[in-house]
Chain A
Amino acid sequence: MNRDTLLNIARFVILILVQVFVLDHVNFLGDLNPYIYIIFILLAPLNINKSLFIFVSFVLGLTIDMFGDSGGVHASACLVIAFFRPVALRSVFGLSYEFQTVKLSNIGFGEKLAYVTLMVLTHHIVLFSLEIFNFSHILLIIKKTLFSSLFTIVITMLVLVLFRRKSDS
């Protein structure tokens, strides 16, 4: 149990608690909630065991589902972004990801924003498609995805900037 593992476990628990107790009750403009618990998936170490990562992401989503009574919606969305995270990383960071020189804690603002946007959009598309689960409501899905994503991205970037680890900055 090194320091990074403990940090990730703490992040896992705290994000779930914040999501369930605070952010699920925001209901901005009626029904918009930011889903910032995916910060755990965004910031997971790049060299993590992939099977473990997929499984932990599944558990993360399932826990949120359990609190929100939403079946397996969050679990699916988390699985998808956990599985496709290497793709997102590669498309944003290009070669520096291939050579494993990227550190998530000290990348530039623009790259960070691109990475977060890509992940959040993917997550929310899966999330709302499954939540609404009816393709005749495709406009509603797109609308909710766009507005919620905007909300989530803003909050996520704020959190990432505010809670940056001092040793790396």
Chain B
Amino acid sequence: MIELAHVGLRYKGGPEVLTDVNLTIAPKSFHYLTGSSGSGKTSLMRLLSINLLPTRGTVTFSGQDIQSISRKERARLRQKIGIVFQNFRLLPHLSVFDNIALPLRLQNISEAKIQSSVRDIANWIGLKDYLNVKPAFISGGQQQRVAIARAVIVKPEILLADEPTGSLDDPMGDQIMVLFEELNKQGTAILIATHNQGTIERFPHPAIRLQSGGTIES
């Protein structure tokens, strides 16, 4: 589904943060992305979410080289990718409902469909009673659930999560991991960037280790 071949990445005026990364993420797979701080995990996640373009090598998504397609086509590809951040990044002025509905509204889905989809997913994540509440009034774990709901409501082909349990305690983090495993069983590929060894041990899945300089070790 996503394939990186000899990918290098350099930020403007800086050193190369990724050198010769080769990686394939298959549909319906579940991987961890690990590596020490500064190894380039976040940069790799940004590449995979088509938020950055490589300075060399190729990134292919569903057979399409992301550098050779138009911005509009890249935007369309991004709609197939769900992203969850460590700090949730919910929009504070919107209710939980509107936060979850945001990607559907971006795709001009009908209001009736939005209502049913959001309520279904709110039931699944256990937040159906909090739909009209602003994110500031729910707990960190609940905010992360909202972020996950927002990421998966459009049924993405892959879910990228950057330290999704990083700001949660273990029991709360485990509940989030259970949600990810359920999603994976429904057919969504999952890639979680984490350095939380405990989570990896409690929920074992193949890990991709990114070493400083960008080489990959599975």
A binds B: no
